[in-house]
Amino acid sequence: MGCTQKYSDFDLIRKVDFNKETYERPITLMQVLPNGQDELKACFNQWLFFSNAEKEKDASVPVIVRSLCPGKDYLMNAQMTERWWTTILFTRSCVTIETQCAIQKKDK
C-alpha cells in the first residue's frame, strides 16, 4: 500500500474562477476581511481501472471551492490537503479544504 500527501496554501481565492493549477492571487479594489470559516472534505474511490479517482478529485476541486462559505465571493487563508492511497486493486483520492470566509469591506 502506498500513501501520498500534498499540501497547498492560498491566501486569497475568488471562488468563481479558482483553478489550483494556474492559481494567481486575485486583485481586489476593496479590502477583503475574514468573516467566518468553513471546511469541506470529499473522497473518490477507484476499483482496478474502472474509473480514475485522482481525475475525479481534481475535476471536483473547483465545485468544492464554490460550495464553501455560501453567499461569500472570496476565501482567505485556504489550506488544501490532498491524499492518495493505493493498493493493488483499490485507489482512494481525497481532498480537504479548510478556509476562512471573506467579505469585501464597503466604503462608508
Beta-carbon count within 10 A of 44 CB = 19
- Report CA-CA distances (Å) from 17 to 48, 88, 106: 33, 37, 22
Q: How far apart are CA 80 and CA 72, in angstroms?
A: 19
Q: Which residue has the higher pLDDT, 102 or 47?
A: 102
- The amino acid occupying position 81 is T
Q: pTM, whole model, 2 decimals?
A: 0.85
Is 59's pLDDT higher than 90?
Answer: yes
- Residue-wise pLDDT tens digits, 16-25: 999 998 998 9
Number of separate domains in the chain: 1
**Counts for the chain of helices (H) and strands (E), in that order:** 1, 4
User: What's the domain range around 39?
Assistant: 2-104
Percentages of the chain per state (helix, strand, coil), in multiples of 5? 15, 55, 30
